[in-house]
Amino acid sequence: MTARYSFVAVRDRDTLNRVYPPATRRAQLLRVSRGDRAIGCVVVQDTYRDGPKFFGNMRVGLIADAAAAPEDADAVIGLATRELEESGHDLVVSNQMHPAWRAALRRAGFVRGPSNFVFAVSPLLAERLRARDPAWRALHVNRGDGDFPWPGARIEWEGPPPPSWRP
């Protein structure tokens, strides 16, 4: 999968369980299969009703995190959308950066809207990303890659924090 993405976070079971700890999460980790073969995973989350601020008293579901090959994005988005619709969500939102994932969202009936999701990187990482993917068209970044700290997440360093780290 990583060969088709120029940049992607680790999304194995251990990592997802650290990012979305079972004891504190309002999220479900779903395995997506085709036949008996796993093709991806997705994290769906029930967000709180926030009153009139954004969506009134609607029940909002979030496709927070997803991983699969670009050609399997439709299956992953489809499963996540059905899961959230069947559990009674009035609205489903997601933030995806990769063109295949955005296209899968459109094919599933999503429309583009305003977002407060920003992908910001250091100058050094930006330079490295541009060297590998000048147009940044193969980056797989979604909502689960941001909004740190995640509920229950802890930073564990081996040795002293890196010099660039600021509390």
Residue 122 has pLDDT above 70, yes or no: yes
CATH code, domain carrying 60? 3.40.630
Question: DSSP assignment, residue 28?
Answer: E
Residue 157 has pLDDT above 50, yes or no: no
pLDDT for 167: 36
Task: Please check whether residue 111 lies inside any domain of the structure.
Answer: yes
Task: Please check whether residue 162 lies inside any domain of the structure.
Answer: no
Q: Residue 92 burial (CB < 10 Å; 0-12/13-18/19+)?
A: buried
The string of pLDDT tens digits covering residues 65-111 is 999 999 999 999 999 999 999 999 999 999 999 999 999 999 999 99
> Which residues constitute the domain of residue 93?
2-145
Task: Please check whether residue 163 lies inside any domain of the structure.
Answer: no
In this prediction, residue 153 has a pLDDT band, given cuts at 50, 70 and 90, of very low
The string of pLDDT tens digits covering residues 19-71 is 777 766 678 888 899 988 999 999 898 876 655 567 788 888 999 899 999 99
Backbone angles phi, psi at 82, to 5 degrees: -60, -45
Number of domains in the chain: 1
| Comparison of pLDDT for 105 and 144, the residue scoring more | 105
Beta-strand pair 7-8/139-140: parallel
Radius of gyration of the chain measured on its C-alpha atoms: 17
pLDDT for 146: 74
